[in-house]
């Protein structure tokens, strides 16, 4: 690697990797945004699929919703059949409901952070997708709290 080059993580999506000069920056957190039906989830599922299929990375799709069967079905519809990789413990599809009424926000945030860190370390996860992040933000009362807690989550993931 040349002195001014930055290490990249290829997505395996040819045009994206071309225009980003090799993919995402290593150890970065990236927000994929757009309106309904623009392909955000398809993009991130392809990122995970290529990660496990082409690059041998352990991958995690973390949903803040609880219906993982819809994610499995939709992924298979695009040709991303993660079943064999789930059995090999290379792909992980996990649901965490971040906030329940019975716990304080600070306690839940700490529990979520610990659970996520432990899971990532135990399973040697290299690529993580969180979808939808909006449900995480909806648990907070003010825009300041949303930003502060998203910042904490990003810092933890890095």
Q: Report which of 83, 66, 74 is spatially closest to residue 43, judged by C-alpha positions.
A: 74
Helices (H), strands (E): how many in the chain?
7, 5
pLDDT in tens for each of the 158 residues of the chain? 555 578 999 999 999 999 999 999 999 999 898 888 898 889 999 999 999 999 999 999 988 777 889 889 999 999 999 999 999 999 999 887 755 544 455 656 667 778 888 889 999 999 999 887 776 777 677 888 778 878 888 888 87
Q: How far apart are CA 91 and CA 82, in angstroms?
A: 7
User: Is residue 73 packed enough to be buried (19+ CB in 10 Å), middle (13-18) or exposed (0-12)?
Assistant: exposed
Is the distance from CB of 55 to CB of 10 less than 8 angstroms?
A: yes
Which tokens in the block code for residue 141? 């009362």
Q: What is the pTM of this model?
A: 0.84
Is the distance from CB of 47 to CB of 127 less than 8 angstroms?
A: yes
Which SS3 state, helix, strand or coil, does residue 28 take? Answer: coil
Per residue in 1-39, is it b (16+ CB within 10 Å) or e — as a string? eeeeeeebbbbbbeebbeeeebbbeeeeeeeeeeeeeee
DSSP 90: S
């Amino acid at each position: 690697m040349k002195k001014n080059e930055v290490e990249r993580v290829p997505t395996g999506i040819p045009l994206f990797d071309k225009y980003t000069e090799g993919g995402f920056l290593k150890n970065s957190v990236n927000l994929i945004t757009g309106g309904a039906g623009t392909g955000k989830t398809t993009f991130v599922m392809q990122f995970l699929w290529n990660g496990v299929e082409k690059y041998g990375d352990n991958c995690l799709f973390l949903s803040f919703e609880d219906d993982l069967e819809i994610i499995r079905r939709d992924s298979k519809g695009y040709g991303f059949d993660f079943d064999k990789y789930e059995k090999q413990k290379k792909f992980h599809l996990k649901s965490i409901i971040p906030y329940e009424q019975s716990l304080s926000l600070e306690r839940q945030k700490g529990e979520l952070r610990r659970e996520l860190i432990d899971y990532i370390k135990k399973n040697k996860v290299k690529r993580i997708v969180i979808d939808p992040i909006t449900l995480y933000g909806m648990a907070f009362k003010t825009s300041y709290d949303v930003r502060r807690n998203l910042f904490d989550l990003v810092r933890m993931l890095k």
